[in-house]
Amino acid sequence: EKLLKIENLETMIEDKKILKGLNLEIGKGEVHVIMGPNGAGKSTLANTLMGHPKYTIVKGDIIFEGEIINDLRVDERAKKGIFLSFQYPEEIPGVTVENFLRTAKGAVSGKQMSIMAFKKLLKEKIKMLDMKEEYLSRYLNEGFSGGEKKKNEILQMAVLEPKLAILDETDSGLDVDAIRIVAEGVKKIIENTDTSVLVITHHNKMLDYLRPDFVHVLIDGRIVKTGDMNLAKEIESSGYEALKNQLGE
């Protein structure tokens, strides 16, 4: 059984239909990349999967571990093991990284870990990601550089141990260093766990690092082509318009 199955999904934002019959299956431990032109519906897909209330499902199903989750709230989906990057507040004054992560872990797992058990888990993850422990006692995002914020997001992902991690590398101009931090961190998580990953990106660096099992192209609310790294290379050299022509869209 697949971890995630999206069947003929149609979603609207306000009165505009964005996803127009999208199909996608993700197996346990697989790495999938979604590419597509601006406005295609990539972020809409990510947010719909997480259950953001702004997006209304008008048709189709999201099936996670065999259960239709269309009507579940964000927190309920998080408890089931779905993680979407970048949904945390920018800064929380007076809250350390460690305390923030412990609270988040408690919320997602439904039980508060003992301080000792949590410290052990954190140590393990910090080691896996090659991070410095001193960083844990800093206040969340306070004075963090762009790179440190990214590291923090990757650490969150590692600590929460999701079954499905969705990373929407929005078009907000990540610099090369930030891309490398995210890519290296995600790569370590992929190698050391059986988390399934859905990465939305147009950065070839990211693809080179992650070596995805599948590459999908999303155009106008549907996945129009699925392939491997070669598909990404083809798009890099010929562009989306060429693909559209080829598919007769």
- Judged by the rule CB under 6 A, the positions of this chain that interact with ligand ADP are 13-14, 16, 18, 36, 38-44
The pattern of x and - marking residues 20 through 49 that bind Mg ion according to CB under 5 A reads ---------x------------xx------
Comparing CB distances to Mg ion, the nearer of 108 and 190 is: 190
User: Residue 189 binds what, of Mg ion, ligand ADP, none (CB under 5 to 8 Å, by partner type)?
Assistant: none
The residue (of 101 and 215) whose beta carbon lies closer to ligand ADP is 215
Rounded Cα gap, residues 150 and 130, in angstroms:
14
Neighbours of 165 (CB within 10 A): 26
- The phi and psi torsions of 248 (rounded to 5 degrees) equal 70, 35
Cβ-based nearer residue to ligand ADP, 44 or 156 = 44
User: In residues, how long is the chain?
Assistant: 249
- Interaction partner, residue 29 (ligand ADP, Mg ion, none; CB < 5-8 Å by kind): Mg ion
Partner interacting with residue 40 (select from Mg ion, ligand ADP, none; CB below 5-8 Å by kind): ligand ADP
Q: Which does 14 bind (CB under 5 to 8 A by kind): ligand ADP, Mg ion, none?
A: ligand ADP
Question: Distance between CA atoms of 209 and 215, rounded to whole angstroms?
Answer: 14
What is the pairing mode between strands 164-168 and 196-200? parallel
User: CB of residue 102 vs Mg ion: minimum separation in angstroms?
Assistant: 25
Q: Identify what 16 binds: Mg ion, ligand ADP, none; CB under 5 to 8 Å per kind.
A: ligand ADP
Binding site for Mg ion (CB under 5 A): 29, 42-43, 190, 194
